[in-house]
Amino acid sequence: MPGSCASVSLLYRGMGSGFRPGSCGDEKAAVGWLSYTSATIFGAGCPNSVPHNSERAVMSAPLAGIRVCDVTQNLAGPFCSQILADLGATVFKVEPPGGDLGRAWGPPFWGSDSTLFLSANRAKKSIVLDLKQQDGRDVLSRLATSCDVFVQASRPGVAARLGMDYDSIRALREDVIYLSVSAYGQDGPMSDQPGYDPLMQAYTGMMALTGHADTPPTRVGGSVVDYGTGMWAAIAILAALRTRETTGKGAELETALMDTSLAWVSYHMMGYLATGEAPARAGSSLGAIAPYRAFQTSDGHVMIAAGNDAIFGRLCETLGLGPLLDDPRFSSNRDRVLNRTALDELVEDRTSRLPTSELLDLTRRHAVPASAIQSIPEVVEDAQVAASGMLLPTHHPEVPEYRDVSLPLRVDGVRPRGEGAPPAAGEHSRAVLSELGYEAAEVERLLASDAVGQSTRSG
């Protein structure tokens, strides 16, 4: 690795999996949603070096010793298992012949794989299995028997045909934590339909709420439904593992893309239930608070969030709008929302006269929450993002300056992070077969039969 991209490798106690430290900024969750986009920017060249703690630290990986069999593709399921890998679990990524379909979701590509794929698959062991062959299903059964957690995302009926439905896996291991990721859920008239992130945004009203009133419905820029579903899935698995510690019993878990998308628009739905009024697209503003949107400056835009009366008072002081504090139209947030148009015009009349940098300097000095609207290249180069430790380098055999987006949390001041770049499809097939107890001759037979595939980058 180049000196400017050097990293400090930290070992989980008793494992040999690694993580890297970094301080934690308030922007960490937003950076997580943008992970595959940031990976795209990194591919254009190594950004500024990322500061990190100079001292080595060692912590117990919370999921050390937990084994996960992940038979999912695309984003939601893989992001779930990446979270578990970052927390110390050993994750076996089971891929079909040709590999996870998400590998081809590009351009952009970085090395051989799409940046979408790279954003959700670090620190895993990949084995390629043809589950249409009995030998492939037999290997999956042996792998599942050895694992605490089984994650799959097949449509109803498909999992049963492949022998990886809950009853089949539980017959192999009674205390298994079994999680299904689906599009619309296991029940209802849409349960047999496929689903992708933008379909769920469309189906649940999220796209109808995104954009401006005079523009078409708009997809949210990050894959918030996929990543959110992966996050809920990981939370469910952690809860089930905790329960198993005390009861000895496994669990059948389920999460769905539709459910996640509904959760993201929950207050909009509740607002409609309370008032009977359908929420509308409002650009950068929020219907319940004012002033609370992006305002034009002389050279761009700044997002201002005057979330309460005190902040509104400081904003008026910042912009020389003191008389507004005595204006009954703006005396409370409720009044400001009802008179939003007039208020926004008054605020923007002042912000539009100032350069972005000068306005941000004023808002910071007066403790008014505000932010420039940054592009992804600006985010990658941002000093606060660098200080957060979210964007860190790791060794990748095809990409010398590889970086990706870390898990957006810290444990005892250290950011958990699984060791290893996303694997090639079948990179670990031979090693996994050996670990499962297959004799050398049987390993060769399985590889020759194409029931098990391996990469030229095999380990």
| CATH code, 316 | 3.30.1540.10
Residue 287, in any domain of the structure: no
Task: Determine the Cα–Cα distance for residues 185 and 173; give it in Å rounded to an integer.
Answer: 25
Assess whether 306 and 160 both reside in one domain: no
- Interval 242-256: pLDDT, tens: 999 999 999 999 999
Residue 296, in any domain of the structure: no
149-152: strand order across its sheet: 251-256, 177-182, 149-152, 67-70, 90-95, 124-129, 452-453
* pLDDT exceeds 70 at position 335: yes
Marked catalytic residue, from 197, 226, 259, 382: 226
* pLDDT exceeds 70 at position 291: yes
* pLDDT value for 35: 52
Assess whether 150 and 196 both reside in one domain: yes
Assess whether 274 and 309 both reside in one domain: no
More confident residue, 144 or 39: 144
Amino acid at 361: D
How far out from the chain centre does Cα 166 lie? 26
DSSP 235-246: HHHHHHHHHHHH
Range in 17-31, 258-272, 376-390 with the lowest mean pLDDT: 17-31
Last residue of a domain, which of 318, 351, 372? 372
Domain that residue 339 falls in: 301-372
Assess whether 252 and 368 both reside in one domain: no
Contact 68, 148 (CB under 8 A): yes
361 is catalytic: no
pLDDT band at 264 (very low <50, low <70, confident <90, very high): very high
* pLDDT value for 60: 58
Residue 341, in any domain of the structure: yes
DSSP 113-130: EEHHHHTT-TTEEEEEE-
Contact 250, 244 (CB under 8 A): yes
Assess whether 97 and 220 both reside in one domain: yes
* pLDDT value for 96: 96
3-state DSSP assignment of residue 233: helix
Assess whether 62 and 163 both reside in one domain: yes
Of the candidates 351, 398, 362, the residue with the CA atom closest to the CA atom of residue 110: 398
How far out from the chain centre does Cα 378 lie? 20
Interval 431-444 mean pLDDT? 96
Core vs surface per residue 33-63: b (16+ CB within 10 A) or e? bbbbbbbbbbbeebbeebebbeeeeebebbb
Tell me the three-class secondary structure of 9-63, residue by residue: CEECCCCCCEECCCCCCCCHHHHHHCHHHHHHHHCCCCCCCCCCCCCCCCCCCCC
* pLDDT exceeds 60 at position 308: yes
pTM for the predicted model, two decimal places: 0.85
- Interval 341-359: pLDDT, tens: 999 999 999 999 999 999 9
* pLDDT value for 59: 54
